[in-house]
Amino acid sequence: MSSSHQDYMQLALQLAERGRFTVSPNPMVGCVIVKNNQIIGQGFHQHAGKAHAELIALREAGTDAQGAILYVTLEPCCHDGKTPPCVNALIKSQIKKIYIACLDPNPLVAGKGIENLRAAGIKVELGLLADQAIKLNQIFFHYITHHRPFVIAKWAMSLDGKTTTHLNDTRDISSPASQMDAHELRKKVDAILIGSKTAIHDNPLLTIRYGADLNSHKHPIRIVLSTKGRLPLHLKLFDPALPAKTIIATTDMADQAWLKKAAKQQIEILMIPTNQHQQVDLFKFLNELGKREIASLLIEGGMTTHEQFMQANLINQLHVYLAPVMIGALEKKHILTNIDVKRHDSDFHFTANDQENRYV
């Protein structure tokens, strides 16, 4: 296969990536139209409910699209939604051939788009850079097939496995660079979740505070998981001036007086049935989020919350920031230096010096 075909699809994938912060719950899609070895149109899906990548590229190409070759990262849609079917526009444009990276698993599409294109006499090739295209939209693929969000667990810990420092020590475990990276992760999700203990003890904002493009994407919804409610309603994340909203996911075990106070503050309450352990049923909780078009969820709570999701086999991806420090029962964490990391099969071998005793 000509390397130019891969180059054009690679460009389409790069274009698709530009919609990462704004298209959810839709997939990221990029499109490039080529004629006589010249790009005559390109585009990417920019916002959910707005024009799809193919339509943007076709508008740019105009009548020159007739007889051209089109590269698109996801199978074109063939159903009426918030926008017209892309397949109809492609057929009308008289595009000669289409390279599609991967199928759309949406049951409303799932191969039907390709069938319609071929029935209209358009040549279609499927699978160009498919692995990259599938990885790009792994969140959407999970959401559209399971009807619940893709769950990402994130935490920072010391080399000896501690996730919190002691009271007389500085709170942060990870470096400023890692904290900025964690905020980049927040940008990519629809919602952030913590448990009630983290909400009370840390009193976090759960907002995005780093990056030059803070106004170019939507802010994630904040969710607190609390089986019995009882959360102080003066916590920072309940400030109505914050971007996006805060949801408390609780059960019928919550105090009625507390529920009334929360409603008075216009805090959204999500009532979830309990499981056999008298805790929030996480399956039903995620299903409810799916109904609200929340396609991705980042867990930032303590290890108890992470373990509950892990025990229920509901975590899709882990992000662990391993800091070169030792905490243990020490009053203050010991910083390690001269870090060296080796790989032995599936194990990681760390070598380091204690900063205070490296020359002893």
Per DSSP, helices labelled H in 72-175 are 86-93, 112-119, 130-136, 138-146
- C-alpha dihedral (188, 191, 195, 199), degrees to nearest 10: 90
- Among candidate residues 17, 54, 75, 293, the one labeled active-site is 54
78 close to 112: Cβ distance less than 8 angstroms:
yes
Give bridge partners of residue 191 from the DSSP assignment.
221, 297
Q: What is the total residue count of the chain?
A: 360
Assess whether 54 carries a catalytic annotation.
yes
Amino acid in the structure at residue 64: D
For residues 346 and 341, what is the distance between their CA atoms, to the nearest angstrom?
Answer: 13
Residue 301 CA to chain centroid, in angstroms? Answer: 17
DSSP 333: P
> How many other CB atoms are there within 10 angstroms of residue 275's CB atom?
17
DSSP 280: B
245 close to 231: Cβ distance less than 8 angstroms:
no
3-state percent breakdown (helix, strand, coil) of the chain, nearest 5: 30, 25, 45
For residues 43 and 319, what is the distance between their CA atoms, to the nearest angstrom?
Answer: 31
95 close to 61: Cβ distance less than 8 angstroms:
no
- Tell me which residues are annotated as active site: 54
